[in-house]
Amino acid sequence: MHVLVTGAAGFLGSHLIDRLVREGHTVLGVDNLSTGTRENLAHLANEPRFHFLEWDICCPLPADFATGRLNYVFNFASPASPPEYLRLAIETLSVGAVGTQNMLEIAARHEAGILHASTSECYGDPLEHPQSEEYWGNVNPVGPRSVYDEAKRYAEALVMAYHRTRGVNTHLARIFNTYGPRLQPSDGRVVSNFMMQALRGEPLTIYGDGNQTRSFCYVDDLIEGILRLARSGVHLPVNIGNPNEFTILECAQAVLEVTGSKSELCFEPLPEDDPIRRRPDITRARKLLGWEPQVQLKEGLARSLDFFRSKLSAAS
Ligand code: UDP
């Protein structure tokens, strides 16, 4: 198959491409490198089945790109960590709206399938727990996180409209917190912050009292869920995440155990509109895709250790 992946140089995009190339597909990767890095794709430099274009998908793709038939589009382009989408607020709104529509047009033109990377942030600070796909969410439309949440919610509406009115074969993955190698050490997410702080012997920065929860999915599990959804006939959103829920304090403890670090904890203010709890109900993914995560938090952190260690030596 000929596959287009946007957000190719990002954490998830690059892992997805590795898996697609391994399966024998030809992959066209697009990224404007606003948050992704060439380093995430460096190992594919001599891979004949992979081609890269540095491009902002808010602009229509160049005419000579993907001239042949495309079979599938994975739309993963977007800043995704809270500090990055706050820094790139308008770009985040644009890529969710204009960029996503450009990709839907390409899918329609090529009669290709398309999977859009949506997010648990569609549920905002959820009033229902755990979150099933039927829950409509509790999003502040004008808060700082709204640039991400509303872009992703608008993108979901756009995807469903292309499915309903143009008959495009669309898929929507609501992705929950994911971690693993290539999670950018500097992008401010909890797992990358804690791993780097623990390895450096610095205090782990707990925002708020640390009793807020997240449910962490290891990247290999996530990619498996994404591919199963892409190959399914399911057009409504599907939660892809690990339902094992941890407080941020428990996450810090797990990082300390896995790294063997003696770092202390320090407490900092909770960012505005930071969701208090988050846990996917994955009944739909289990039933319709036969999927559930296999790797639990400490094992996944252990598998990520070498990557964060390598970043440590690169920085020092
Ligand atoms: N967090 C923290 N310390 C950090 C980074 C994040 O306590 O150094 C908290 C953050 O306030 C949130 C949770 O960890 O409650 C997950 O944050 P992240 O930025 O990874 O993603 P989110 O799930 O909020 O999109």
The 10s digit of each residue's pLDDT in 25-36 is: 999 999 999 999
Phi-psi region of 269 (alpha: psi -120 to 50; beta: other; left: phi over 0): beta
Domain 181-214+244-279+297-315: CATH superfamily, name plus number: UDP-galactose 4-epimerase, domain 1 (3.90.25.10)
Q: Is the peptide bond before 126 cis (omega within 30 degrees of 0)?
A: no
The answer to whether 133 touches 87, Cβ cutoff 8 Å, is no
Average pLDDT, the chain: 96
Tokens for 28?
A: 């066209």
Please write the tens of the pLDDT for every residue from 80-107. 999 999 999 999 999 999 999 999 999 9
CA distance 257 to 261: 7
The 8-class DSSP code of residue 98 comes to: I
2-178+217-240 carries CATH number 3.90.1150.10: no
* 205 C-beta closer than 6 A to ligand 1: yes
Per-residue model confidence (pLDDT) at position 307: 97
Q: Give 223-263 pLDDT, tens digit per residue.
A: 999 999 999 999 999 999 999 999 999 999 999 999 999 99
Helix (H, G, I), strand (E, B) or coil at 181: coil
Helix (H/G/I), strand (E/B), else coil: 32: coil
d(CA 205, CA 186): 14
Segments making up each domain of the chain, as ranges: 2-178+217-240, 181-214+244-279+297-315
What's the distance, Cα to Cα, between the start and end of the chain in Å?
42
d(CA 34, CA 55): 10
Q: Give distance in angstroms: CA of 28 to centre of ligand 1.
A: 32
Backbone angles phi, psi at 51, to 5 degrees: -125, 140
Kindly give the number of the ligand 1 atom that is closest to the alpha carbon of 251: 14
| DSSP letter (8 states) at residue 142 | T
Strands 245-247 and 213-215 come out as antiparallel
Ligand 1 centroid – CA 260 distance (Å)? 22
Whether residue 27 contacts residue 17, with contact meaning beta carbons closer than 8 Å, is answered with yes
User: What is the enclosing helix (H) or strand (E) of 3?
Assistant: strand 2-6
Predicted confidence band of residue 62 (pLDDT cuts 50, 70, 90): confident
Residue 155 pLDDT: 98
Mutate to test the pocket of ligand 1, among 178, 248, 278, 301 (most ligand atoms within 8 A of CB): 248
Residue 188 token pair: 């401010």
Which of 207, 246, 276, 304, when mutated, tests ligand 1's pocket best, judged by the most ligand atoms within 8 Å of its CB? Answer: 207
Distance CA 53, CA 31 (A): 7
Residues serving a catalytic function are 148
Query: Which residue shows structure tokens 């090529």?
Result: 110
Is there an atom of ligand 1 within 6 Å of 105 CB?
no
Residue 165 burial (C-beta neighbours within 10 Å; 0-12, 13-18, 19+): exposed
Tokens of 312: 């440590």
Distance CA 130, CA 122 (A): 14
pLDDT bucket at 180, cuts 50 / 70 / 90: very high
